[in-house]
Amino acid sequence: MKTIDSFNFKNKVVLLRADLNSDVCRGKVVLSERIKESSETISELKRKGAKIIILAHQGRPGGKDFISLKQHAKQLKVKFVEDVIGKKAEDAIANLKKGDVILLDNVRRLKEEFKPGKNALVKFFIGKVDFYVNDAFSVCHRKQTSIVSFPKYFKSCAGRVLEKEVKALKKINLKKCLYILGGAKPADNIKLLGKNKVLATGFFGQLCLISQGIKFGGYEKFLKKRLGKEFGIMKKLRGKLGNVLTPIDYAVKINGKRKEFSLGEFPSKYVIYDIGEKTMSLFEEEIKKAKAIYVKGPSGDCTEKGFCKGTIEILRAVSKAKGFSLIGGGHLNDALNISKIPREKFGHISLSGGALLRYLAGEKLPGLEAMSK
Ligand code: 3PG
Ligand code: MG
């Protein structure tokens, strides 16, 4: 894989695909690890005398977090251009000087982004750009123009964030990896069910239990509403849970306080917010034995005071484990910040959710494939 070390960027125009996609809280973009890490690649290219055009996305069309990149530009301390392939972008690119950086607007504003090929988005940059740098490992599972089409028309290489992710993933012994699968998006986890041992946490753990006949009571209605279509994955779980260890107790909220129930005490009317202490101990024993560990997503709702306990205990056990550890997903990154466990205690902290999971499941990532051709 070619990297930033492979080329001389002095006075060259670089099209940098970054992943700046972050949580948006009441219209405000949260300063994420993604934004912080991307700025390192940008600074390096600046130092090397490049003229830098950053292309990125935020949210998906129709979503609440589908907004412009104006705030991201402010956080990166670079100039924002309210345009992707129009006159304003054209002028801004023509005026770039050595070391200048501009961030174009949300590339997902263009329908061409979703139809890769030599489309208007690609044609716009032909003749304007010398190099394409892909620094968005976390988007490499998407067959989108800014990921798979540019490498066909420009000399390409990996940015530092992508390079770091790929190098770290090569270190993990996938055959002996223990998967701790939680988070808010349970459907993707199915891809990892099979040979390896799995500790099921978060919504995923609850769905595994329901599929085995456990009745949670009123909470199931809440879960159904919260997960929408993903609630239906339960049917696909049957027969696949041979290597999956599920929680044996849960924490619910009663009058604002944490209270733990063992599985036998359900159904109940209360909402589940976390795994319980017995589950934590059970899982910690598995973590101690593991040769390699991948943690995806929190075990419970870390935005609720007192309910990040399970997630933090899991992270603490993983931080002490002998095996190489890989931590993935945006929300788990936030939980890690709450836990105050030093980041160096882990083998690698990934900025990716879906892309990482697919990589571990042995799928080829279209973005990496495109660059290797
Ligand atoms: C992510 O947040 O996982 C990446 O930015 C990719 O976003 P997407 O899932 O909307 O394609
Ligand atoms: Mg995501």
Ordered DSSP codes for 87-146: HHHHHHHHT--TT-EEEE--GGGSGGGGS-SS-HHHHHHTTT-SEEEE--GGGTTS--II
User: What does the pLDDT read at residue 307?
Assistant: 96
Q: Does residue 214 register a pLDDT over 90?
A: yes
For the entire predicted model, the pTM comes to 0.88
Q: How far apart are CA 160 and CA 6, in angstroms?
A: 12
User: What does the pLDDT read at residue 329?
Assistant: 82
User: What does the pLDDT read at residue 54?
Assistant: 98
Give the CA distances from residue 304 to residues 133, 200, 297, 309, in Å, rounded to whole numbers and listed in that order. 39, 20, 15, 10
Ligand minimally distant from the alpha carbon of residue 136: 1
- Residue pLDDT, tens place only, 151-178: 999 999 999 999 999 999 988 888 889 9
Q: What's the CA-to-centroid distance between 329 and ligand 2, angstroms? A: 7
**Identity of the amino acid at 106:** N
- The closest residue, in CA terms, to atom 7 on ligand 1 is 139
| Residue 297 Rama label (left phi>0; alpha psi -120 to 50; beta) | left
- Residue pLDDT, tens place only, 90-146: 999 999 999 999 999 999 999 999 999 999 999 999 999 999 999 999 999 999 999
Mean pLDDT of the chain: 95
Q: In 154-201, which ranges are continuous DSSP H helix?
A: 160-170
Q: Does residue 25 register a pLDDT over 90?
A: no
Question: In ligand 1, which atom is closest to the CA atom of 352?
Answer: 3
- The closest residue, in CA terms, to atom 2 on ligand 1 is 21
What is the per-residue burial (b if ≥16 Cβ within 10 Å, else e) of 15-36? bbbbbbbbebeeeebeebbbbe
| 24: β partners | 29
DSSP codes joined into one string, 256-273: TEEEEEEGGG-SBSSPEE
List all residues whose CB is within 6 A of at least one atom of ligand 1.
19, 21, 60, 138-139, 142, 353-354
Q: Does residue 330 register a pLDDT over 80?
A: no
Q: Does residue 278 register a pLDDT over 90?
A: yes
Closest CA to 111 of 153, 72, 63, 60: 60
For 38, list phi and psi in degrees, rounded to 5: -60, -30
User: What does the pLDDT read at residue 173?
Assistant: 80
Question: Residue 77 — very low, low, confident or very high, per pLDDT cuts 50/70/90?
Answer: very high
